[in-house]
Amino acid sequence: MSSKANLTIFMFLLVSLIRVGIISAAEVRIKVNAAKVKGSISTKLTGVNVSWYYDTDALWADGSMTSYLREIKSTFLRYPGGCETSKFHWETPYGHWNTDLWDPNIKPNTHSPDTAYMDTDDYIKHCRAVGSEPLIGVNIQSGKKYDRILDSVNEAARWVQYCKNKNYNVRYWYLDNEPYYKSNSEAMTAAEYAGYIKQFAMAMKVADPNIKIIIGWENKLSVPNYWADWKTIIKKAGAYFDIADVHWYWAWEYATWDLWLNDNPMKVREWCGDCPDKRYIGPSYVEDIRGFHEKIKDVNGVSYPIQLAALEWNVGPVKDRRFSQFQQALMQSEMLGQFIEGGLSMACMWPLTWSGDIHGDFRTVLDQEKHKPTPTFEMVKLYSNVLGQRLIASVTNQPNVRTVSALSRDGSTLWVYLLHKSGEGQTIKAAVAIDGFAAKNAEAVAFTAPKLSSDTSELAKVAINAAGTGKWECVLLPHSLTMLTFHKK
């Protein structure tokens, strides 16, 4: 018998035993107010990072990669990658991702074009097949390292012009990857980066004045030094960019399952060279997103309409594999839920596929070896139902049950997501009270797995029953993300 069949039987018996009182479950109460619309949920939260070097033509050949990305409504493919951006030259997309062809020590003719790698034309073809918005990063660090900034500016402007001439409709351009980090050149200061932002944006917008410029800096906004950097960038270059990008890797190198279970709500945890024990602990992602927008409302007496994006995000990494792919996906699910609740404008998970070291396949959207969906993929797909819908108010009375709720644009459908942060065997009954929405029927599906140690996941139907006017009941399985869907008709 399949594991899916076993799980279905287990759930049926579990719910039956709870109903007759043989097994008791604690109760969590959830209140949903469909009349209290808090804002719109972005359509741009299920983007992924693709790599010009790793995501070769062979991975896309059978069309499955494209189909999978369509399933999760991946509205952005970020290209040419992360650290790869800082060495990448779009007119010569060959060599190795960690090789800069501007390096004078590279011998001429030792690198030749390799059509297996993803060039600009390949990338746009994939975007169009998936239905994704292009999102391209330009290389500043090569210009800084080799004292060729003007060449870098012209290289970027030519790329914008090339895309415009080809009618590729590339609106979003990010200015290098993590310039505060030594990816290729020495790390930039905030003042240096601000100068480059102005220089590159001006040249690129001559080629296409309709593009949106994205800049990135470190996100530890409650640490004075980091906020001072943001203020410097905004003061000097706030008029030249549209979107600020932060990279969120929860508890880099020290993430554990127990740390997450006891983090209610999940807080921004990062590596931080200026912090005690090198660990930064901030507010929740919801509070950080809202706090950023509050901080930039008025810098130097000027208000800038800057949006916030997380163009790289994930849990960890860790040097040893401390949790399963399923556990990883559950932890990621709280991050994505908070992005929705906080009103984040854009998000791209790092990475689509990867291999080796701490960037192993357990962090990816698709498995590196077989290129099949991971539990992360299934989790993202569950949340993709509410992209572009309206965020509504919902609260729970237990901190280890997190909730996000949405109402469809036409008002006919309501979704409630319930993340049950628990260990093995801890079942809980959920009592949901809904105001402002008269549901006639409902269904529930749980993202779960037979064991925490599983590297696979299951989507299992859960019984949900009416319990009075506007009231519904269901059982939340251990370590699960349950999506309740209510319909007026």
pLDDT at 278: 86
C-alpha 78/C-alpha 48 separation (Å) is 6
Amino acid at 488: K
Domain range for 182 = 42-386
Whether residues 209 and 331 fall in one domain:
yes
For strands 390-396 and 26-40, give the pairing.
antiparallel
CATH at residue 47 = 3.20.20.80
Among 368, 386, 404, give the residue marking a domain's end: 386
Of 268, 212, 211, nearest to 243 (Cα)? 212
pLDDT at 304: 82
pLDDT per residue, tens digit, the chain (489 aa), is 555 555 544 444 444 444 333 334 589 999 999 999 999 999 999 999 999 998 999 899 999 999 999 999 999 999 999 999 999 999 999 888 889 999 999 876 667 778 899 999 999 999 999 999 999 999 999 999 999 999 999 999 999 999 999 999 999 999 999 999 888 888 999 999 999 999 999 999 999 999 999 999 998 877 888 899 999 999 999 999 999 999 999 998 889 999 999 999 999 999 887 788 889 999 999 999 999 998 888 787 778 889 999 999 999 888 777 889 999 999 999 999 999 999 999 999 999 987 655 455 457 899 877 889 999 999 999 999 999 999 999 999 999 999 999 999 999 999 999 999 987 788 999 999 999 999 999 999 999 998 999 999 999 999 999 999 999 999 999 999 999 999 998
For residue 278 the two structure tokens come to 């090198």
Among 353, 386, 419, give the residue marking a domain's end: 386
464 membership: H or E segment, kind and range: strand 464-466
Number of helical (H) and strand (E) elements in the chain, helices listed first: 12, 20
For residue 217 the two structure tokens come to 């800096």
C-alpha 43/C-alpha 124 separation (Å) is 20
Among 360, 386, 412, give the residue marking a domain's end: 386
CB proximity list for 57: less than 8 A, separation 6 or greater: 115, 116, 117, 118, 122
pTM of the model: 0.93
Whether residues 276 and 144 fall in one domain:
yes
Whether residues 174 and 98 fall in one domain:
yes
Whether residues 358 and 438 fall in one domain:
no
C-alpha 411/C-alpha 391 separation (Å) is 12
Whether residues 19 and 131 fall in one domain:
no
Query: Length of the chain in residues, anyone?
Result: 489
Whether residues 208 and 95 fall in one domain:
yes
For residue 77 the two structure tokens come to 């493919």
Of 278, 369, 281, 382, nearest to 330 (Cα)? 382
Whether residues 21 and 52 fall in one domain:
no
Find out whether 214 and 175 touch, Cβ atoms under 8 Å. Answer: yes
Whether residues 416 and 306 fall in one domain:
no
pLDDT at 484: 98
Q: How far is CA 77 from CA 51, 273, 325, 346, in A?
A: 10, 31, 23, 11
CATH at residue 395 = 2.60.40.1180
For strands 307-315 and 464-466, give the pairing.
unpaired
Three-class HEC string of 169-208: CCCEEEECCCCCCCCCCCCCCHHHHHHHHHHHHHHHHHHC
Q: How many domains does the chain have?
A: 2
